[in-house]
Structure 1
């Protein structure tokens, strides 16, 4: 003959206090897991951005000198037909216009990327919150 111990070990035998305690523990674990996911996602994005920034800095370093030689070449070519000071002034104006346009586009691009948010983690948290709310409502309606 089998006997039940009455220890409340089965899901139907748990008290409301035990169920709330389990829910609280599981919710805390879930939140910690989502925070860990957000940290990992941000670290991954920061690493990729750091590598990209480093490579762009190297390219900018060499590009600066390349561009200086190009500008000198353009000034020398224009000075074949005009006074050297006028050739330099024409190149200066063109470069100032290009610089202004690039600055405007760059600022707009930076504004689109800020603030950096862990989108997957935020979506996961929203889904988890909806699931918990749904479960609580279903549990209360029983």
Structure 2
């Protein structure tokens, strides 16, 4: 005679009990995903913060290097022109560069404002329509 299979520590549950457990399992899954998301975001923000700190440091050094190079340009021009004229020429060139950078910056700001993620919003709306069954995905 064969012996019955040994009983496991978990008792057998009925179909209705398993179906009743689904919302709790989904909630646990969502909570676990949220915690994983938080951990990932914190890690990436730490790395981004360190990177931003180094970029600021590089910017400070570049600023001082620009000042030194500006002074060197003025001194070099002062060898062939009066010092006031050399400073005036270098200053004018810097103003022209600043104006160009400002114009490009304003154009980029106009292009990026308002910062609404319109493509993502439309994608989410489409997903909601698909879930509701109003329209098949990809159909126009």
TM-score, length-scaled by structure 1? 0.56
RMSD: 3.5
Distance 1:77 1:108, change over 3 A: same
Q: Distance in 2 between matches of 1:62 and 1:27?
A: 52
| Residue 12 (structure 2) pairs with residue 9 (structure 1) | yes
Number of residue pairs matched? 105
**1:100–1:31 Cα change, 3 Å:** farther
Runs of 4+ with deviation above 6 angstroms: none
Determine which structure has greater relative contact order: mean sequence separation of CA pairs < 8 Å that are 6+ residues apart, divided by chain length: 1
Judging by fraction of residues, say which structure has more helix: 1
Q: In 2, distance between residues paired with 1:36 and 1:46?
A: 15
Change in Cα spacing, 1:35 to 1:75, as seen in structure 2 (3 Å) is same
Q: Counterparts of 1:42 and 1:99 in 2: how far apart (Å)?
A: 37
Q: CA deviation at 1:42?
A: 1.4
**59-68 or 93-102: bigger deviation:** 93-102
Aligned residue number for residue 29 of structure 1: 28
CA–CA separation in structure 2 for the residues paired with 1:108 and 1:34: 36
